[in-house]
Structure 1
C-alpha cells in the first residue's frame, strides 16, 4: 500500500509520491496534474468532480460549488441538486477522486496520505480536513503546513543549503507566510502568519467589480448565470496578464455587449487593498522571528497566485529583494507533502532529514483581573512555540471561599477572550480557599498532531484532565457514520465517461459565454455530439468529438472566450 502527499487547495488539488529518489506528481483520470477543487451534481444526481464541475460553475451555478476550502471548520452549508452539502463532505469527494486517480496511476492501493493545510489554519479547520480524509477512505496521521511543504520541495531540489528562508504561499483562497531555518538537514519553522480569507479569488473579484463599474452595470440586474460568466471571464483576464501586457474582457448581458481592456498597472491600482493586506503577515513573521529582510537567504514564492507578475513585483518593492520562483508554484506543495510522506515512511534516502513544527496560534485561559475583575487572556503557550510543548501556570482564587473553578481554554491573540476561539472548558470542584491564595496549576500540552490536553491540578492534589474538542461544529461519531453511509450512496460518474462529460461541460460553458453565430454553431456541434453518443456509432462519435473539440479550442485561444 502506498502513502501519498496531497495539496488540497482552494482552487486546485493534486497528489504526489516519492518514487525513484524524487517526488513525482501524479496525473488524474484526464491525464492532468491539477484537479479543480469543484463539485457539481448533474440532473441524474451523479457527482461530478474536478474539471467537469469547474466548467459547470458557469453553465450550472445552482448545482455546482467551488472554493469550499474557505469554509472548512465552519457550519457553512450549500444546496446542490436539491441536496445539502457541507465543506467537509465536498472536500471528502475531492479527496476520494484524488485517491482513486492516484491508485490508478500507481497500480496499487493508497491507504494513507499527508495532506497540506494553510499554516494559519486553526484547530477546527485542521480537524475538519482530517475528517474529510477519513470519509474519503484515507488515513491521515500528519498534516503539513503548506509553506513548510514548499520549503521542503525547494530545499530537496537545491541540496538543503543552510540558511534562513521566507516562504510566501499565495494560493487561490489563502495567504501564508513562514520563516524557516535550514541547518544540516534540519528544517525548523521559526514563525508563521497569514490570512485565511485572502487569495487569488480576490483579484478575480476586483476585476469583476471594476468591469461593472467601468460599464455602469448594476450588480442587482445580473442573473446567477451572468455572474458566473463574468467571474469566469475575470479569472481569464487575470491569467492572461501573467504572460501578456494587456487583456480584454468582453461579455454579453441581455442583448448588449460590454468590454474592458486591462493592463497590469490598472490591476495594481484596483487591487491595492489586497496587496496591502499582504504586508501584515510578512512584517509579523519578521517581528516574531526577530529578523530583518536582509538576513534572509531567499524569499520563496509558491501558490498559483504567485504566477501573477504584480505579486513578485510587489514583494520586490516592499522587501528590496528579488523573490525566488525556483520551484513550480502549482506543484511545489504537493511535492513537499510527498517528501514528508517519504520521511514519515522512514525511507532510507530521507531518513536523515528532520522537520520541526510550531503552534500557529497562542493558547491560553480566561482569568479575572485582580483589580478590575474584568476577564482577560492569560497566554500559556504563545504562538510559534515549537511542538510538542507542555507549559504550566499557577492560578489564584478570585474571591474568598471559592470552591468552584471554570477553566476556559481559548485559541487566538486577542487580550479579550470573547474575541478568540473557544476550544472547550473544564468545570470542577476545589477546596474553599482565601482570596488570592493558590488554587490550582493548569498545564497545556500540545503535540505535533494538534492534540491539546488540558490538565488542572487543584491544591488538594486532585488532577483533572480533558482532551480539548474545539468548536461545536466538530461532528459526533453518529454524524460521521451518517456521512459515511451517504458517501456510499453517492454515485460518481464512471471514469470512462469523464472525457465525454468534460467536453459537454466545456461546450455548455462556452454557449453561456458566446453570442450570435458562435453560439448557434456551438449548439449545433453539441447536439450532433450528443446524438452520435446516443446512437452509438463509433465513426460519428469520433468525428463529432473532433469537430466540437477543435471549435472549443479555437474559442479558448482568445482572451475573451467569445468571437
Structure 2
C-alpha cells in the first residue's frame, strides 16, 4: 500500500509519492500531471472528471461544474446534469480519479493520503476535506497547509542553509501567505495568513466583466453557454498577458465576430482591488512572525496565478525584493505534499529533517466582560491558543464565576479572530458544575491542547474540588451534517453589528475589530480594552461622553496604524 500526497486545487489537482529519488509527481490517464478539478456527466449520463469534463465546460455548462472548492464545508450545491452535489462530493470524485491514476502507476493499492488545504481554511472547511477523502476511499492521515507544503519542496534542497522564507501562494481560488525559517535541518512555520476567497479565478472574472462591458452586455442577460465561451476567452486573455503586453481575442456574438482587446496596463487597473486585498494577509503574516519586511531573505511564489506579471511586480514593489519561482508554481505544492508523506512514513532520506507547523486560527472560549460596576456583557471571545502558535501546543487560562453561589458554567469553544464569538466559528460546548457554596465565587482553569492532526482537547478543572471535565474536538470526525451546515450558515447571516445608528460609531467599532484580528498578545488585549470601554460608553448614550471616547479611540487606532511592517 502506498501513502501519497495530493494537492486538491480549485483549478487543477495533482498527486505525488515520495521515493528514494525524492518526491515524484504521478501522471494521469492522458499523460499529464495536472488534472483539472472539473466534474461533469457525458451524453450517456456517466460521471467524467478532469480533462474530459473540462472540454465540456463551454459546450455543456449545465452538465459540468468547476471552481467548487470555495464551497467546501457549506450547504451550497452544484447541479451536474439532473443531480445536485455538495463541494465535498465533487472533490471526492476528483480524489477518486487521482487515486485510480496513482494505483495504475504504482501497481499497488493507495489507501492513505496527505492532502493540502489553504492555510486559511477554517475547521468546517477542513472537516469537509477530510470527508471528501473518506468518500474517495482514502484515509486522510493529515492535512497540510499549502504554503507549508511549498516551503517543504523548496526547503528540501536548502535544508543545510539558514533562511527566512516568505511563501506567497495564489492559486485558482485561494490566497495564502506563510513565513518559515530553516535552520539545522528544522523547517519551522512562523506564521500563516490568507484569504480563502481570493484567487486567479477572480482575476479572470475581472477580465470577463471588462469583456461584457466592451460588448455592451450585462451578465444576467447572457445565456450560460455564451457566458462560458466568454469566460474561456477571458482566461486565455489573462494567460496571454503573461507573455505579451497586449492581446486581442475574437468573440462570435451571434453571427458577428467582435474583437475584444486588453493591455497589461488596463488589466492592472481592472485588478487594483484584488491586488490590494493581498496586502493585508502579507502584513499580518510578517507582523505575527515578529518580523519586518527587510528581515525576509527569500520570497517564493507558488500557485499558477503567480505567473501573472502584475502579481510579480506588485510583490517586488511591496517587499522590495525579487521573488523566486524556480520550481513550477503549479506543481510545487504537490511535491511538498509528497515530502510530507515521506516524513510521515519516516523515509530514511528525510531522517535529518524536522517540520513544525502552526495553528492557523485562534482557538478560545466565550466569556463575559465587565462593562461597569457589577455589570457584565456576554459574548466576548477569550483567546487561549492564538493563531500562529507552533503546534503541538498546550495553554491554560484561569476564569472565575460572575456571581457568588453560581453552581455551573456553560463553556463554548470557538475558532476565529473576532472579539465577539458570534462572528467566529463554533466548535463545541461543555458544561461544568460547582459545589453549592452560596457566598463564594468559583475559580476554574481551562486548558486547550492542540496537536498537528487537528485534535483539540479541552480540559476544565474546578480549583476547589480538583474535578475535571473533558471535551475532545477531532480534526477528522467526518462531514458535518446538512442540518449543522445549514444552521451555521444561518448564524453567519446574522453577524452582529453593534446596535447603534450613528455611522461613525459603527465605523470605529468595525475598525477596532479589524485591528483586533491583525494583532496578538498585549496589543490585542489593549485593542479589546478599548473596544469594551467604547461599547460601554455607547450603551450609556451620553453624547458628550461618546464624543470624548470616540476621539480617544481614534487617536489610539491612528497610533496603531503607524506601526506598519512595510
Give the TM-score of the pair, scaled to structure 2. 0.81
**Secondary structure in 2 matching 1:325:** coil
**Correspondences of 1:122-521 after superposition (within 5 Å):** 122-371=122-371, 372-375=375-378, 376-433=380-437, 437-458=441-462, 459-468=464-473, 474-475=479-480
**Would the alpha carbon gap of residues 184 and 81 (structure 1) be closer, same or farther in structure 2, given more than 3 Å must change?**
same
**Would the alpha carbon gap of residues 217 and 246 (structure 1) be closer, same or farther in structure 2, given more than 3 Å must change?**
same
In 2, Cα distance between equivalents of 1:55 and 1:430: 64
Cα pair 2:130 2:476 within 8 Å, conserved: no
Cα pair 2:127 2:477 within 8 Å, conserved: no
In 2, Cα distance between equivalents of 1:415 and 1:440: 22
Cα pair 1:396 1:436 within 8 Å, conserved: no
Stretch of structure 1 that moved more, 113-122 or 150-159? 150-159
Q: Kindly state the Cα deviation for residue 253 of structure 1 after the two structures are TM-superposed.
A: 2.9
Q: Kindly state the Cα deviation for residue 62 of structure 1 after the two structures are TM-superposed.
A: 1.3
**Secondary structure in 2 matching 1:157:** coil
1:233-292 Cα offsets, whole Å, 9 max, x none, are 111111111112221132123344333211211110000000011111111111111111
Q: Kindly state the Cα deviation for residue 161 of structure 1 after the two structures are TM-superposed.
A: 2.1
Cα pair 1:178 1:189 within 8 Å, conserved: yes
In 1, Cα distance between equivalents of 2:130 and 2:208: 34
In 2, Cα distance between equivalents of 1:158 and 1:395: 46
1:178-208 Cα offsets, whole Å, 9 max, x none, are 0000001100000000000000000110001
Cα pair 1:367 1:378 within 8 Å, conserved: yes
Q: Give the number of equivalent residue pairs.
A: 479
In 1, Cα distance between equivalents of 2:294 and 2:443: 48
Cα pair 1:124 1:470 within 8 Å, conserved: no
Alignment partner, residue 501 of structure 1? none
In 1, Cα distance between equivalents of 2:159 and 2:397: 42
In 1, Cα distance between equivalents of 2:304 and 2:478: 30
Alignment partner, residue 24 of structure 1? 24
**Would the alpha carbon gap of residues 414 and 476 (structure 1) be closer, same or farther in structure 2, given more than 3 Å must change?**
closer
Alignment partner, residue 109 of structure 1? 109
In 2, Cα distance between equivalents of 1:219 and 1:63: 20
In 2, Cα distance between equivalents of 1:453 and 1:157: 36
Q: Kindly state the Cα deviation for residue 471 of structure 1 after the two structures are TM-superposed.
A: 13
In 2, Cα distance between equivalents of 1:70 and 1:289: 27
Structure 1 residue runs without a partner (length 5+): 480-563
**Secondary structure in 2 matching 1:227:** helix
Cα pair 2:405 2:441 within 8 Å, conserved: no
Alignment partner, residue 95 of structure 1? 95
Stretch of structure 1 that moved more, 32-41 or 59-68? 59-68
Cα pair 1:74 1:473 within 8 Å, conserved: no
Structure 2 residue runs without a partner (length 5+): 485-566
In 2, Cα distance between equivalents of 1:133 and 1:23: 21
Cα pair 1:394 1:438 within 8 Å, conserved: no
In 2, Cα distance between equivalents of 1:126 and 1:292: 30
In 2, Cα distance between equivalents of 1:126 and 1:220: 33
Alignment partner, residue 488 of structure 1? none
In 1, Cα distance between equivalents of 2:189 and 2:168: 13
In 2, Cα distance between equivalents of 1:222 and 1:476: 36
Stretch of structure 1 that moved more, 454-463 or 220-229? 454-463
In 2, Cα distance between equivalents of 1:436 and 1:122: 39
Stretch of structure 1 that moved more, 250-259 or 158-167? 250-259
**Secondary structure in 2 matching 1:460:** coil
Q: Kindly state the Cα deviation for residue 346 of structure 1 after the two structures are TM-superposed.
A: 1.0
Alignment partner, residue 86 of structure 1? 86
1:479-498 Cα offsets, whole Å, 9 max, x none, are 9xxxxxxxxxxxxxxxxxxx
Cα pair 1:397 1:433 within 8 Å, conserved: no
**Would the alpha carbon gap of residues 153 and 471 (structure 1) be closer, same or farther in structure 2, given more than 3 Å must change?**
closer
Stretch of structure 1 that moved more, 83-92 or 439-448? 439-448
Q: Kindly state the Cα deviation for residue 429 of structure 1 after the two structures are TM-superposed.
A: 2.7
**Would the alpha carbon gap of residues 274 and 435 (structure 1) be closer, same or farther in structure 2, given more than 3 Å must change?**
farther
Tell me the C-alpha RMSD between the 2 structures.
Answer: 2.1
In 1, Cα distance between equivalents of 2:133 and 2:93: 9
1:128-167 Cα offsets, whole Å, 9 max, x none, are 1111111111111111111111111112134542111100
Q: Kindly state the Cα deviation for residue 83 of structure 1 after the two structures are TM-superposed.
A: 1.1
Alignment partner, residue 494 of structure 2? none
Stretch of structure 1 that moved more, 231-240 or 187-196? 231-240
**Would the alpha carbon gap of residues 238 and 478 (structure 1) be closer, same or farther in structure 2, given more than 3 Å must change?**
closer
Q: Kindly state the Cα deviation for residue 477 of structure 1 after the two structures are TM-superposed.
A: 13
Cα pair 1:64 1:80 within 8 Å, conserved: yes
In 2, Cα distance between equivalents of 1:192 and 1:420: 18
Cα pair 2:384 2:448 within 8 Å, conserved: yes
Stretch of structure 1 that moved more, 396-405 or 205-214? 396-405
In 1, Cα distance between equivalents of 2:222 and 2:440: 63
Cα pair 2:404 2:442 within 8 Å, conserved: no
**Would the alpha carbon gap of residues 224 and 477 (structure 1) be closer, same or farther in structure 2, given more than 3 Å must change?**
closer
Q: Kindly state the Cα deviation for residue 316 of structure 1 after the two structures are TM-superposed.
A: 0.5
